[in-house]
A and B are shown apart, each in its own frame.
Chain A
Amino acid sequence: QKEVEQNSGPLSVPEGAIASLNCTYSDRGSQSFFWYRQYSGKSPELIMFIYSNGDKEDGRFTAQLNKASQYVSLLIRDSQPSDSATYLCAENTGNQFYFGTGTSLTVIP
């Protein structure tokens, strides 16, 4: 059984700070990793994905992947109150995605 672990939080950061969200996974054969944001009562929406070791930046978001440590992270720079949501980490192998339970983030104005 593949496992994706996330700290459930809640994580609170002040507006303008950097939020750091972390995820570990059990399967060394995992191909790619996805970060989704989910607002309360809504469905998940993709923020970004990463498949190579290192960093990938998209606007205020940076995903980091370390395959040796089986670790994926998401950094949110200049956090805004609108970033308050649950963030889901998922790993993909073949057709299936395996999701973590999510980290709840609150950005305090």
Chain B
Amino acid sequence: DVKVTQSSRYLVKRTGEKVFLECVQDMDHENMFWYRQDPGLGLRLIYFSYDVKMKEKGDIPEGYSVSREKKERFSLILESASTNQTSMYLCASRPAGAGGLTEQFFGPGTRLTVL
């Protein structure tokens, strides 16, 4: 059974703080993703990684960075948190290959509030 875990379910931070969101998957998946989800806007891709130390920008990378030092762990970093980064953050993983016939598996999400 695939398991994707995220370090916190709820997080409250102050404007200007550096914030780390951690994601770990236990199924040896090559691909990992970070999304944010806001009402009316759906899931928007921030960054994804297809291999250790590899990363690609998604649709909304501004204000975020990522780190993937180990295959199972993908970290999202908010360099200087702002109130417009208050959101639900979802991590997902997916095996490579299979011609697009594999799903993304989601973690439970982290609801981040920036005050």
Instruction: Identify the A interface with B (CB < 8 A).
Output: 1, 8, 31-32, 34, 42-46, 49, 51, 88, 90, 92-97, 99-102
Contact at B108–A51, with CB atoms within 8 Å? no
Give the docked Cα–Cα distance between A33 and B58 (Å).
Answer: 19
Q: Known contacts A96-B45, A99-B42; is A43 also within 8 Å of B107 by CB?
A: yes
Among the 9-residue stretches B13-21, B69-77, B79-87, B97-105, the one with 4 or more Cβ atoms under 8 Å from chain A is: B97-105
Give the docked Cα–Cα distance between A92 and B96 (Å).
Answer: 13
Question: Contact check: which of B42, B103, B107, B108 meets A49 at CB < 8 Å?
Answer: B103
Of A43, A88, A97, which is in contact with the most chain B CB atoms at under 10 Å from its CB?
Answer: A43
Closest-CB distance, A2 to chain B (whole angstroms) = 10
Give the docked Cα–Cα distance between A8 and B106 (Å).
Answer: 22
Closest-CB distance, A42 to chain B (whole angstroms) = 7
Closest to A45 in B: B106
Of B31, B35, B101, B108, which is in contact with the most chain A CB atoms at under 10 Å from its CB?
Answer: B101
